[in-house]
Amino acid sequence: MYISLVLLSFITFLCCGCHSPPMLSFAVLLIIIVINCIYIFIQLVKFQTFTFLLFSSFSGNQMLLFILFALASISSASIFPLSAYTGTESLYKVNKTHQIYIISNSPQEDLQLLTITTNNAAQNSNGFTLAAPTTDGSLAPFVPTQDNDLVSVVFTGKTPLSGWLYMNSVTPKLNVFPLLENSSISFKQGTNVFFKLSSPAQQIPVAQNVVVEKNQPLYGFIGLPDDIGLPSDSRFFDSSSIDTVTNYNQLELPLDRFYFSSSSSNVKYEIKYGTRSGMTIGSSGLVMTDGFPSGAYGTRDFNLNNQNGINVDAYLVPRFDQSRQFYSTNVTVFMTPTTMDPTVFPVPSYGSTNITSNSPMSRILIESDGPFAIQYTLRDTTVTTPSPFETTTKSSSFPQIIASLLLAAIFRF
């Protein structure tokens, strides 16, 4: 939004400069600057996030850094890099609804030098206390006890901290988790936010053994719940998109920040670091390019090892980066035997085009000109669900079959 305002201002000034007297051009530019300043002030008031510093002690360079930091705080709204904090006091206007989190894996001796205090209620804590996960892996937030208070953040250490200060005052039942190298995190009812801090080599965040309910979906989103810089629909996963599936083997989550939300208390998952398992027959899951929706992308090729040529019911739900211009994706399904022609499914990045196929598929190739996240299920049609009336014998005579049918009819009516 801010970039758009600046570009609009520049273009307007050029146009006026080409066709108007110098004084008129200057007047138009001055009006544009005033409008931009008013807009920035409104955003500051809207998000109630302020940084008060001792201007009297500032040099010209320090004042410029403060202005840049203030503008950055507008665009990020409620998340701040810990590396930005120094010995200079930073203050934020808060209410009792605010929750303040410190997400960091910096050394204890450095985190203890980050202090958080309130002005009116005289509460205080430090970065190490707030960054330490509880028994379930979540963080305990710093919560002000008074409305219209000021929270002070000061770091007196010499080594810049890594991680984030995250403030949220609008999301109910919020749970924040740092994703550390040995993390294994289960679902908590509400909104669960994850911050990737460190990861083993060749591994990404994954959700494994996911169990959902049909009538109370589980949603997955990129970014943070209150992130105004994201597209209106930032979902990468929606369990209701495939209403026949209640169990997912693995969801790939190669993201720095993401969150899951559900009103159900019966959702289950384990979020940890792991390797990509990819698409396999009989599995359901999510495959995703790194840093979706803005990261790198490439070809994904899945060998289904279907030498016997069994029929597979496939259902794929692609999602794309809606903020960039149109780009194309081809999903090619190869068959067994290989003499059969493959089926190519062209999928545009706009709209909502799902893919269905019932065929003896042996390989799925995804080629895209942009990032993608594809929710899928591949059902082995030779595996049937158990009948509600099972017998203990492997074979039945004709009279036994008739008797079973009559018994079923009696129970039904």
Summarised one tens digit per residue, pLDDT across range 363-372 is: 999 999 999 9
Looking at the predicted structure, is the pLDDT value of residue 66 above 70? no
Q: What is the pLDDT of residues 150-173, one digit of tens each?
A: 999 999 999 999 999 999 999 999
Looking at the predicted structure, is the pLDDT value of residue 397 above 50? no
| Residue 36: per-residue pLDDT | 57
The domain made up of 175-226+235-277 is a member of CATH 2.60.40: no
| Residue 90: per-residue pLDDT | 96
Strands (E), 64-201: 79-81, 90-94, 99-103, 114-118, 124-126, 149-155, 164-168, 174-179, 185-186, 190-196
State the span(s) of the chain assigned CATH 2.60.120: 78-168, 175-226+235-277, 297-413
Looking at the predicted structure, is the pLDDT value of residue 62 above 80? no
Find all residues with CB under 8 Å of 132, minimum gap 6, and list them: 139
Q: What is the pLDDT of residues 334-350, one digit of tens each?
A: 999 989 999 999 999 98
| Residue 227: per-residue pLDDT | 77
| Residue 219: per-residue pLDDT | 96
Confidence of residue 388 (pLDDT cuts 50, 70, 90): very low
What is the C-alpha to C-alpha distance for residues 243 and 247, in angstroms, rounded to an integer?
Answer: 11
> How confident is the prediction for the chain on average, in pLDDT?
81
Q: Residue 104 corresponds to which amino acid?
A: S
Instruction: Give the residue-averaged pLDDT of 85-110.
Output: 96
CATH class given for the domain over 78-168: mainly beta
- pTM of the full structure: 0.75
Looking at the predicted structure, is the pLDDT value of residue 398 above 60? no
Q: Please, is 57 exposed, middle or buried when counting C-beta atoms within 10 Å of its C-beta (0-12, 13-18, 19+)? A: exposed
| Residue 19: per-residue pLDDT | 47
Q: Please, is 355 exposed, middle or buried when counting C-beta atoms within 10 Å of its C-beta (0-12, 13-18, 19+)? A: middle
The domain made up of 297-413 is a member of CATH 3.30.1380: no
